Amino acid sequence: MKKQNRVVILGVILVLLTSFAWNPLVGSTLRAEVIAQLQETFGGLFGGKGMLTPARLISAATVIVIVWLVNICICWVLETIGKNNKRSLSVVGLFTSLCKFICVIVGGVWALGVLGVNVAGIFASLGIASLIVGFGAQSLIEDMISGVFIIFEGQYHVGDIIVLDEFRGHVRNIGIRTTSIEDDGGNFKIVNNSDIRNLQNRSMNRSIASTVLSISYDADIPTVENVITAALPEMFERNKDVWLSAPRYIGVDELGESSVVLKFIVEVNEQNFFGARRRLNRELKVLMDKHNIEIPFNQIVVHQADK
């Protein structure tokens, strides 16, 4: 759901909650309680003590809606500011995630205070250290610190292509706790920031796409090499939108069971890695057909014993 729609929905909920204060269909007693409670709530952080009443519930719900509205507005402003470049998007993702955590904590504490819960007493009795351990915040803090280092060391940014544990994809979001990666098939991998180690950032430099071509043992290697070498510049002219330079013929890569294997490479941007390889395969196949150069397939020779 878009942020604009969320703001509208939350705004409607806020109006419905506060409408008790002026709705003529609501009893005068409840209206008076709601008005008094709202005044008490927003006059101080922990306004009011006493029994749980409908007025307190309405006031607590109002607090939660307001805090969430503030969160959405802050996130929208951050995302608007951060549309300039990858680094800005990465920093915005981190602070957006942090903002959500803060709003959840502030909204929860404020709402409990409105309901008459002695939040300060709970914190004092449990102790900050025991509260952190109790909620398993040790791993949370580790993820947060790792996220900060990832952003400010520039290890990767939103939009970069990285390889992590053999999973290759675009970085879609860097949060305060996790990083989201999407591969070409639309699959997402979500990893805790503290668990990200030994990654490859494939967006920092040009990439090399490679492919191989099998030709028959009956083919004349020098003749085939001359045909290929002459055709490579023309291939580049047809594929300049994907290739960064003309493909290069590396040489005989392998003497296979049924064919001689030739290897080719071409420089590409990482986002075009797979498309560049597919185009190179097509160009080579068309070239072989044009010059009647056989691309063999595996053959099985069966010997029948004499009876």
pLDDT digits (tens, 9 = 90+) for 190-211: 888 888 877 777 765 667 888 8
CB neighbours of residue 121 within 10 Å: 9
pLDDT value at residue 274? 80
Report which DSSP code applies to 289.
H
Whether the per-residue pLDDT at 31 is higher than 70: the answer is no
Whether the per-residue pLDDT at 166 is higher than 70: the answer is yes
pLDDT value at residue 84? 62
pLDDT value at residue 75? 76
Alpha carbon of 78 to those of 81, 84, 149, 303, 306: distances in Å?
5, 11, 20, 74, 83
Confidence at 181, pLDDT banded by 50, 70, 90: confident
Taking the domains of the chain in order of start, what are their residue ranges? 3-126, 144-201, 207-290
Q: Which residue is listed with tokens 């502030």?
A: 106
Give the residue-averaged pLDDT of 6-30: 64
Whether the per-residue pLDDT at 47 is higher than 50: the answer is no
Q: Which residue is listed with tokens 């729609």?
A: 5
pLDDT value at residue 50? 46
pTM for the full model? 0.45
Q: Would you list the DSSP string of 71-138?
A: HHHHHHHHHHHTTS-HHHHHHHHHHHHHHHHHHHHHHHHHHHHHTT--HHHHHHHH-HHHHHHHTTHH
Q: Do domains 144-201 and 207-290 have the same CATH topology?
A: no
Whether the per-residue pLDDT at 267 is higher than 70: the answer is yes
CA dist 202 and 204 (Å) reads 6
Of 211, 199, 183, 157, nearest to 271 by C-alpha is 183
Is the CATH number 3.30.70.100 carried by domain 207-290?
A: yes
- CATH of segment(s) 144-201: 2.30.30.60
The residue ranges of DSSP E strands in the chain, in sequence order, are 161-164, 167-174, 178-182, 188-192, 200-201, 207-215, 248-255, 260-268
Confidence at 263, pLDDT banded by 50, 70, 90: very high
Task: Return the bridge partners of 189, or none.
Answer: 181
Say which residue, 31 or 22, is predicted with more confidence: 31
CA dist 61 and 5 (Å) reads 19
Confidence at 46, pLDDT banded by 50, 70, 90: very low
Give the residue-averaged pLDDT of 15-42: 63
